[in-house]
Amino acid sequence: MTTARDIMHAGTQCITEDQTLNEAAMMMRDMGVGSLPICGKDQKLHGIITDRDIVIKCVAEGKDPTTCTAGELAQGRVTWVDADTDMMTVVDTMGQQQIKRMPVMSDHKLVGMISESDLAKHLDEKQLSTFVEEVFARS
């Protein structure tokens, strides 16, 4: 059985909720990623911030990314999977929730992220097509 741990990108780095969006953008640039998990002082996952969030919810709104914090954009409930979750359950959850990036937890700690590119490497053509349709084709 293929699990979340088998397909995830390990070594995920969090941004803290009090770091600025400017810092988030630099971290994303330096790591070559488009999203970062947001962790609180309690070391728990509080959300995910994307490069699109920075542009749409900060820059386009006239806010200053050097003062606006990641925590200000951490909204809603965070969906995650356990590292031992079966890959098809991960795919189903991401599709149903229309999630493009899934945090992976083990022993209450963030251990990785699963992205669309991770799925593309592990799903057959039909499975990938179904996932893309679920995430992107819903109105």
The domain total for the chain is 1
pLDDT in tens, 61-101: 999 999 999 999 877 788 999 999 998 899 889 888 888 88
Residue 101's domain comprises: 4-136
Q: What is the 3-state secondary structure (H, E, C) of the chain?
A: CCEHHHHCEECCCCEECCCEHHHHHHHHHHHCCCEEEEECCCCCEEEEEEHHHHHHHHHCCCCCCCCCEHHHHCCCCCCCEECCCEHHHHHHHHHHHCCCEEEEEECCEEEEEEEHHHHHHHCCHHHHHHHHHHHHCCC
Q: Are 138 and 102 in contact (CB under 8 A)?
A: no
Report the distance separating Cα 127 and Cα 134, nearest Å: 11
Q: Are 71 and 46 in contact (CB under 8 A)?
A: yes
User: pLDDT value at position 138?
Assistant: 58
Q: Are 87 and 6 in contact (CB under 8 A)?
A: yes
Report the distance separating Cα 104 and Cα 59, nearest Å: 29
Question: Of 18-22, 39-43, 111-115, 121-125, where does mean pLDDT reach its minimum?
Answer: 39-43
Q: Are 40 and 31 in contact (CB under 8 A)?
A: no
pLDDT in tens, 3-59: 999 999 888 889 999 999 999 999 999 998 888 999 888 778 889 999 999 999 999
CATH number at residue 66: 3.10.580.10
